[in-house]
Amino acid sequence: MNNRDYILYVDDNEVNLRLFAEYLSDTYEVVIENSTQKAWESLNRYPIKVIVSDQRMPEEEGLVFLDKVNQTYPEIIKILCTAYVDENSAIKAINQGGIFHYIVKPYSYEYMREIIKHAVNEYNLKMENKRLLKELQRNNSILQQAFNQIKEQQLKLFTIFDQSNEGIVIIRNGEVLEANPAFRRIFSIHAQERILMACTETIQKNYSSFLSKLTEEVSEGKSFEYEIVNIENKKRYLEVQPSCIDFLGKKAILAIIRDITERREAEYRILEAITTTQENEQRRYARELHDGIGPLLSTIKMYVEWLTNPQLPNPDQMLQYAIQTIDETIRQTKNLANQMSPHLLERFGLIQTLYDFLEQTKKATAINYQLSNNLSNRLPSSIEITIYRILLEAINNTLKYANADNINIEIKILNNEVSVKYSDNGKGFDLEKVMNEGKGMGLFNMHVRVQALKGQCKMFSSPGAGFSVEILLPINE
């Protein structure tokens, strides 16, 4: 499989084409074409990442051609070359055709190599950002679905007036006719006698703006959110569902009030955690590319340059070294690609993918593991991805910090839920202290992933007692 990046160079000068290909083909898959018509054929045939075009060509100007390419292939990075220094053309090229760089001839091929290197990185980052955006949109959709389900379930409980956790109040002309205990708690009304009168006085005196808002919104019949500072000087966020009803033969306002303070704060924390996770993953992938695959590619280039030397004393051995380095580069690239998008998980399922990962880990670290399960069918994709991500986080933490020599994983179906248990025999840590000090971002991310699927997550650890986590996820939701 060819893992090299494809570069397309378009120029009507055959000498320029040959020199360009000769100089850059050691690093890239260089495709050269002497006309824009043939260039379109190559764009349709090869996975081009960067296109370099000359400006002055008899068939079509490079800027016009690249502008058309930008409309069809906006993700491809475009570079324009010209022998004529024209500041206005450069500005027009960048603004009109989405040009990444404007190069004036004559140029050195070292300079061209550096520009193409940045262009390839720009393309890779653009595609990675596109993938991350889709993943974030999918996560947001899951959170929105979970929120809608919670809302529907809560609405069913409003019929139980006194036992409801939501405030229920009936108001007519500013007078409170009925109010349940939850409503009184929300507005800090603690009266034991003449309760309804106390509610009326408190609302009219301390929450007159809320009463006005309620009266305005009832005609629409739509819920609205409202922020209050109660008598105890505590800020609360409320979600209010008003409706017009017939109460004892006369029109009145029925308001169902939910205190959403904790939910609002939790949403802020979850959004911050998701954003932080995405940013950390991007940084980690960048480091992997720079520190892992980058040096290997440099080594391969060095071997290839040596092999071009006819006086090399031992070319067969040098070729063998080059092949070994290429194999290692392919292996690391596959590992990084699987971390970024677990395609093996999609093809082979959770259990087989975990087995393969643990076997590779065992070879590299000599750590023992036990993986047991009673799964007879594949789990829903969202659950498999969540379990896979959580277990990889746990395994990586064990390898980095725990100084453990054994990992135990158990995955079982219990009724309509999937149970996941993970433990190691490492040195353990003060779990409460780590969480309170905000140092356990990876542990917090585990909780966030489980909460997104309406599951339960419990963690256990103490110095000298290893680490364990127990997860319970509903399957039918």
> For position 273, what pLDDT does the model report?
63
Stretch (H or E) spanning 239: strand 235-247
Residue 102's pLDDT is 83
Write phi, then psi, for 404 (nearest 5 degrees). Answer: -100, 160
Q: What is the pLDDT of residue 158?
A: 47
DSSP letters for 255-269: EEEEE-HHHHHHHHH
Task: At 231, list the tokens.
Answer: 């008598």
At residue 345's C-alpha, the angle toward residues 339 and 348, to 5°, is 140
Give me the CATH topology for the region 342-477.
Answer: Heat Shock Protein 90 (3.30.565)
Sequence-ordered list of residues with C-beta below 8 angstroms from that of 63, at least 6 positions apart, any chain: 55, 80, 89, 92, 93, 96, 97, 99
Sequence-ordered strand ranges (E) for 83-205 = 99-104, 167-172, 175-179
- Residue 476: the pLDDT is 66
Q: Can you give the length of the chain in residues?
A: 477
Is the domain spanning 6-123 CATH 3.40.50.300? The answer is no
- pTM, two decimal places: 0.38
Residue-level pLDDT at 91: 64
Q: Are residues 426 and 401 in contact, defined by beta-carbon separation less than 8 angstroms?
A: yes
What is the structure's pLDDT at 261?
A: 81
> Could you give the CA distance from residue 253 to residue 214 in angstroms, rounded to a whole number?
8
**pLDDT average per 10 residues of sequence, the chain (477 residues):** 86 92 92 93 94 90 89 92 68 67 86 92 91 90 83 58 81 89 84 86 86 84 82 81 88 87 70 60 60 60 67 68 72 63 70 82 77 86 84 84 87 88 89 76 79 85 89 79
Alpha helices in 398-440 (DSSP H): 431-436
Q: What does the pLDDT read at residue 31?
A: 94
Three-state secondary structure call for residue 272? helix
Please give the Cα distance from 409 to 395 (Å, whole number): 10
Vertex 45: Cα angle to 44 and 48 (nearest 5): 80
**Tokens describing residue 313:** 């004393």
How far apart CA 363 and CA 359 sit, in angstroms, is 6
pLDDT of residue 157: 45
DSSP 98: -
> Nearest CA to 92 among 61, 117, 113, 116?
61
Q: List, edge to edge, every strand of the sheet that includes 99-104.
A: 29-33, 6-10, 48-54, 77-82, 99-104
* Cα–Cα separations (whole angstroms), residue 291 to 5, 119, 386, 414: 19, 19, 28, 43
Give the N- to C-terminal CA distance of the chain in Å, as an integer: 41
For 160-259, CATH gives: 3.30.450.20
Measured between alpha carbons, how far is 119 from 108 in angstroms, rounded to an integer?
17
